Amino acid sequence: MQFRYVGIDHVQLAAPEGCEDAARRFFGDLLGWPELPKPAPLRSRGGVWFRCGRHQVHVGVQADFAPATKAHPAFDMVGLDALRSRLSEHGVPVRDDDARDEEGVRRFYVDDPFGNRLEFMERR
CA distance to 62, 70, 103, 105, per residue, from 124 (Å): 37, 25, 9, 6
**pTM for the whole structure:** 0.92
Residues 6+ apart with CB under 8 A from 103: none
pLDDT of residue 99: 63
Distance of CA 93 to the CA centre of its chain: 15
In whole angstroms, give the CA distance from residue 87 to residue 111.
11
Residue 71 domain boundaries:
10-123
- Residue 4 within a domain: no
Q: Residue 2: inside a domain, yes or no?
A: no
CATH number, domain containing residue 108: 3.10.180.10
> How many folded domains does the chain comprise?
1
Alpha helices in 62-101 (DSSP H): 80-89
When comparing pLDDT for 124 and 92, which is higher? 92
Over residues 76-97, the mean pLDDT reads: 96
pLDDT tens for residues 36-53? 999 999 999 999 999 999
For residue 45, being part of any structural domain is answered with yes
